[in-house]
Structure 1
Amino acid sequence: MNKMVGLWAHPRSRSTVLERVFIERGDFQVFHEPFAHMAFCEASAIPSDEWDHSLPTTYEGIKAQLIEAKTQGNVFHKDMCYHCLDDLKVDQDFLVQQHNIFIIREPASSIVSHHRVHPDMPLQAIGHKALYEIFCVVTKLTGHVPYVINADDLAAEPERVMRKLCDHLQIEFLPHAMTWKRECPSQWKTWRSWHVAAENSERIVLPDNQQVDSDVLDHSPKLKALYDYHRPFYARMNEFCQ
């Protein structure tokens, strides 16, 4: 039976570089933030690049595209829960037919990184609260705590984390998928300016900027307020990291 893997994330969580591993595998059709097309359009304030007008722009249309793709082979899609929160929260049928994986990153790092790309980001766009809401929905729906990856663990020990994820998904770990050429996959072109580091990477690496991010928060009341609001949701999910 074909698999559908849903990687639910918040912005700047290193979800894109994890997605790149699935692109390199070659045995999954990969969709990059498909539900963003119901949340935004080419005229939205959020930075975007080469907008693909051929993609569906409604929740039902996007979901139908993913389900149809699953009839043809394995599917991997990653998205931000805040893009489709209200619809996703009540769509048990969609959630139950896939492997729901969650990735989190310490909010100090994700918020500072987010601010560099989109300084006018609204509160909900930080994404930890929406991610936690879907985490709770999936927990209640399945009776099991979903699989959670901490992005710092992924960056520090990528092979260990990916091997463990593959075991969880019952798929083969493919060593060749852990390295790649520096290029922009076609899936990323709409949001290319968000993924400069991932586009110019050759593998998953651990940057040394945690202290810098904390210092930035200390000097910005706006960012500190965003951090204080979202960190409890991160902390709760972090208790369940694999």
Structure 2
Amino acid sequence: MNRMIALWAHPRSRSTVLERVFIERGDFEVFHEPFSHMAFDEHSAIPHGDLNGAVPRDYEAIKALLRNARQRSSVLHKDMCYHCIAPLKADAEFLMEQQNVFIIRDPARAILSHYAIFPQMPVQAIGHQALYEIFCEVRRLTGKTPWVINAEDLASRPEHTVRRLCDHLQLDFMPDALNWNAKCPEQWKTWRGWHKDAENSTTITAGSADFDERPLHADSRLLTYYQLHRPFYERMNQFTEQGQP
């Protein structure tokens, strides 16, 4: 039977480069942020490409798109919980029919990376709170702790982290999927401006070890965003790679 895997993320969490691993595997049909199409349209302030594509803009229709794809192959969809938080929290059936994986990143790094692309970002778009709410709902529904990946672990130990994820999901580990040719996959084109590093990459890299938090503390709005979302990150981080199958 074909399976569906949900990779739930917040913006700037390194989720796209993990999604690229599944694109390279070749045994999944991969959807990139399909629920963003219900959150934004061509008039939205957020930087975007063409939002007039084939993805529907209604929650039920997007869900049907994923379910129909599952009829022909296994599916992975990567998305932000804040895009669809209200209907998703109320949709136990959808959450239960898939394997739910979560990825988190220190909100200081995520916020400054987000701000560099979209300075007008609203507070809910930081995304850690919505991510935590769905994590808790999956845990309540299943009685099991979902799998949580810390982005820094993915960046510093990609083979170890992906191998452990595959073990958890009961998938064959494919080492060749950790390397690729630099290009923009078709799935990313709507949000291409957000994924320049991933598009130009050929593998998962740790990036720079230097991180300057001063811009965060110098901006009262960004600091407020950080103070709100940091507790949700900390609560989830204690469960990193401790999920149950």
TM-score (norm 2): 0.97
**Structure 1 counterpart of 2:225:** 226
**1:46: Cα distance to partner?**
0.5
Contact between 2:42 and 2:52, CA under 8 Å: does it hold in 1? Answer: no
For 1:1-242, list aligned pairs within 5 A: 1-209=1-209, 211-212=211-212, 214-242=213-241
User: How many angstroms apart in 2 are the aligned matches of 1:138 and 1:105?
Assistant: 20
Contact between 1:52 and 1:190, CA under 8 Å: does it hold in 2? Answer: no
User: How many angstroms apart in 2 are the aligned matches of 1:209 and 1:86?
Assistant: 37
CA RMSD of aligned residues (A): 0.9
**1:102: Cα distance to partner?**
0.2
User: How many angstroms apart in 2 are the aligned matches of 1:52 and 1:23?
Assistant: 23
Partner SS state of residue 100, structure 1: strand
User: How many angstroms apart in 2 are the aligned matches of 1:163 and 1:52?
Assistant: 37
Partner SS state of residue 108, structure 2: helix
The amino acid that maps onto 1:56 is: P
The amino acid that maps onto 1:225 is: T
Aligned residues with identical type, % of pairs: 58
**1:210: Cα distance to partner?**
5.0
The one-character-per-residue Cα deviations of 1:28-84 (angstroms, maximum 9, x if unpaired) are 000000000000001111100133432111000000010111111110000000000
User: How many angstroms apart in 2 are the aligned matches of 1:66 and 1:172?
Assistant: 23
User: How many angstroms apart in 2 are the aligned matches of 1:234 and 1:156?
Assistant: 19
**1:230: Cα distance to partner?**
0.3
User: How many angstroms apart in 1 are the aligned matches of 2:233 and 2:108?
Assistant: 11
User: How many angstroms apart in 2 are the aligned matches of 1:53 and 1:8?
Assistant: 22
**1:200: Cα distance to partner?**
0.5
Q: How many residues align?
A: 241
**1:209: Cα distance to partner?**
4.8
Partner SS state of residue 8, structure 2: strand
Contact between 2:123 and 2:225, CA under 8 Å: does it hold in 1? Answer: yes
The one-character-per-residue Cα deviations of 1:91-130 (angstroms, maximum 9, x if unpaired) are 0000001000000000000000000000000000000000
Partner SS state of residue 88, structure 2: helix
Partner SS state of residue 72, structure 1: coil
TM-score (norm 1): 0.98
Partner SS state of residue 167, structure 1: helix
Gaps (5+ residues) in structure 2?
A: none
The one-character-per-residue Cα deviations of 1:171-203 (angstroms, maximum 9, x if unpaired) are 101111001111000000000000000001110
Contact between 2:128 and 2:229, CA under 8 Å: does it hold in 1? Answer: yes
User: How many angstroms apart in 2 are the aligned matches of 1:211 and 1:102?
Assistant: 24
User: How many angstroms apart in 1 are the aligned matches of 2:52 and 2:161?
Assistant: 33
Following TM superposition, the consecutive aligned residue runs of length 4 or more in structure 1 with deviations greater than 4 angstroms are: none
**1:221: Cα distance to partner?**
1.5
Gaps (5+ residues) in structure 1?
A: none
The amino acid that maps onto 2:231 is: P
